[in-house]
Amino acid sequence: MLEMTDVSVYYESKGKKHSAAGPITLQVANSETCAIIGPSGCGKTSLLRIMAGVQSNFTGSLRLDGEDLKPNLHRIAYIPQNSGFLRWKTIRNNCLLPVKIRKLPLDREVYSRLLEITRRMEIEDIMDRYPSQVSGGQLQRAAVARSLMIKPDLLLLDEPFSALDALTREYAQNMLRCVLRDFKATAVLVTHSIEEAVFLADRVIVLSASPGKIIADITTLSSEYDDRSAVRYTKLAAIVRQLIKEEWEGYGEEESNSVC
């Protein structure tokens, strides 16, 4: 379980600290997928980077399964907006990189897991290609496969499919949804897409405009619908959209349209 307690993000300007998000208290249960959504600039990505241990300008505490988060960063996999593939390595070697970095043995179990995950993500035929030789959708699915190679206790995804066209994005979302369920992964997803949040997550956390605070915690029961036209799915998406629009009242029509 991930536990965030009174976490506030700040930045410094002219010798003064300014609040970017928080205070936020949040728990994400094991095997749960939690999406964080809200207006631009509300601190979504900063919160995810703090969970990943790559951003330190915050106060409050984070714990993973009851232990302080910092000594347990090796148990976390983080997929940033830029998938970060090394262009001179094949997709296969990129996927194996987290295992090598942790100095784990490249044994039969590792290769069996790689085969299983890449088959599930339908990318087994691109493993000997280089990043420049595959499509954006394939690369993002490979990023998910790479992150799962270390059997992470927590998977963090920052706008994983934002650069994809609509049809490719839906296809990739379907793949990710199945993999998260089958591998019983605990995941936190940051996204600007309301539909993506409602489709992928068991819970949707809606943040206010900056400084971001939790204004809604919505249980989706997403396991009850696989069809994006399901009544519950469309109703929940409408509820989240209305919450964000209300937050943006007075902030300008342009910003509201960019989020929703």
Segment 147-184, tens digit of pLDDT: 999 999 999 999 988 888 888 888 889 889 988 888 88
pLDDT value of position 233: 80
pLDDT value of position 189: 96
In this predicted structure, the answer to whether residue 220 has a pLDDT above a threshold of 90 is no
- Total of domains in the chain: 1
pLDDT class of 54 with cuts at 50, 70, 90? very high
pLDDT value of position 258: 42
pLDDT value of position 254: 41
pLDDT value of position 222: 67
User: Which domain does 24 fall in, by range?
Assistant: 2-259
Domain CATH code at residue 131: 3.40.50.300
Residue 186: name the closest of 229, 233, 212, 153 by CA: 153
Alpha helices in the chain (DSSP H): 44-52, 91-101, 108-120, 136-148, 166-182, 194-200, 231-248, 253-259
CB 35 within 8 A of CB 204: yes
